Structure formats: C-alpha cells, structure tokens
Chains A and B, each alone.
Chain A
Amino acid sequence: AQSVSQHNHHVILSEAASLELGCNYSYGGTVNLFWYVQYPGQHLQLLLKYFSGDPLVKGIKGFEAEFIKSKFSFNLRKPSVQWSDTAEYFCAVKPLNMDSNYQLIWGAGTKLIIKP
C-alpha cells in the first residue's frame, strides 16, 4: 500500500535554528507533493506544493521544500525558525494514478516546538 513517512513526530528547536523535516513516500510513479501546517487553534492550511518543474519550491513564511525523485523525498526546510513557526506540519502525496483515485495520502505529522 502507498504510504507517507514523516521521520520525526516531535521536534524542538531554539529560535534562529535551521529546520529540516523529513518526508518520504512509497509510490514509484508521478506525484504531486504538499506540505500543510496547522498552527495552534487554527485550521489546517497549505504551506507549499510541488507539481512539476523546479524541484525546489518556495512557500509562505520563508519555508521551502526540495523534491528528490531518486530518494522519494520531499523535505521541508527553513534556514532560521521563529517562535511563531510552532505548529504541526503534515506532508501529503497525491499519486497521479487512477487506481489511487487521486486521493491525498497523508503522513502522521510532525509537531514542531520553537523555544523563544
């Protein structure tokens, strides 16, 4: 079965530290890739997405993610985190395959806590 793995369930960093959250998926075909974020008390919202082209995509609030096809990965990065980045981050993959019904397959999420 297709799956999405987020390696760390909890990450704690100090402000100004660099961030990298891992995301790997198990589908070998063409995919669309997403990172969603849920800030405390807020709705789940789209952070960034990859469809095609440049494998390095930029999202809101200084986040970026790199698609490495050979590694089936789509890691999320930010060079310098802020306290306001405290949130839960979800990776999601959409296999472009009719058999999958084009559903999103979600990772379990990573809770990020930034210490002021």
Chain B
Amino acid sequence: DGGITQSPKYLFRKEGQNVTLSCEQNLNHDAMYWYRQDPGQGLRLIYYSQIVNDFQKGDIAEGYSVSREKKESFPLTVTSAQKNPTAFYLCASSIEGLGPSYNEQFFGPGTRLTVL
C-alpha cells in the first residue's frame, strides 16, 4: 500500500524537551512538507524539502528543525525554542516541489503533540 505514515499518533512532551515527529512515504515523491494545524486556523507551512539533502523554511519555521537524508523520510524536530508547540502536525508529499505547475499534495494521518 502506497502512502504516507506518521508516528506517533499522539505525543506528549514536557516543557523544555525536544521531540521528533516521524514522516515516511513510499510514493517515490521528491518533495515533502510539514504543516501545523491549530483550531480555527488553516494549515501553515513549517518546512518543505524539494529534494534530498535540501530543505527550505516555510512561514513558521522558528523553533523547528528538519532533515532530509533519505527520499522517503522527513523528520521534524520540535525544539524547546518553539513557544507554543501544542498542535496537530501534518506531513505531506508531492511528486515535484513547489512551482507553477499542478502538484497534488498527499497527506499523512497527522501527529497530535501536547506539551504538558
């Protein structure tokens, strides 16, 4: 079954701790994305990667870090510098990166992070 998996589904963290969210895809897509979803707000782009070993900041990158060492994997680390990390995090992928041509994004099931 092709798709995007995210783990864990629920994650609890104490203040001051870093935590890493996993995202894996077997769709052979070049591009991967991390979004944050808060109640009453649209998805906001945290980071994206258009190719292995390359990534760019989105609109709300502060307090987050990513790596893209393999095509299939794009883990997101929520650091202690992120002031309000409690949110729902969605990972997505697409065949190509951001550009003017059509490029459907496929989404994972999400991880709900709660900071205690």
Contact = CB atoms under 8 A, between A and B. Distances in A.
Q: Determine if chain A interacts with chain B.
A: yes
A43 interface: yes
Contact-residue size bin, chain A (C-beta under 8 Å from the other chain): 20 to 34
A92 to B, nearest CB: 8
Given A44-B90, A104-B105, A90 B99 contact: no
Contacts of A32: 102
Which secondary structure dominates where chain A touches chain B? loop
Interface stretch (B14-22, B38-46, B61-69, B70-78): B38-46
A4 B102 contact: no
A90 B40 CA distance: 11
A95 B3 CA distance: 27
B5 to A, nearest CB: 10
A96 B102 contact: no
A93 to B, nearest CB: 10
Contacts of B105: 104
A25 to B, nearest CB: 11
Contacts of B4: 43
Interface residues on B, range: 20 to 34
Given A43-B108, A44-B90, A44-B107, A103 B102 contact: no
A50 to B, nearest CB: 11
Contact of B42 (A42, A49, A96, A105): A105
A51 interface: yes
Interface of B: 3-4, 40-45, 58-59, 90, 98-100, 102, 104-109
Interface of A: 4, 9, 32, 42-46, 49, 51, 90, 92, 96, 101-109
18 contacts: A9-B40, A43-B4, A43-B106, A43-B107, A43-B109, A44-B107, A46-B104, A49-B104, A90-B42, A92-B42, A92-B43, A101-B98, A102-B98, A103-B58, A104-B43, A104-B45, A106-B42, A106-B44
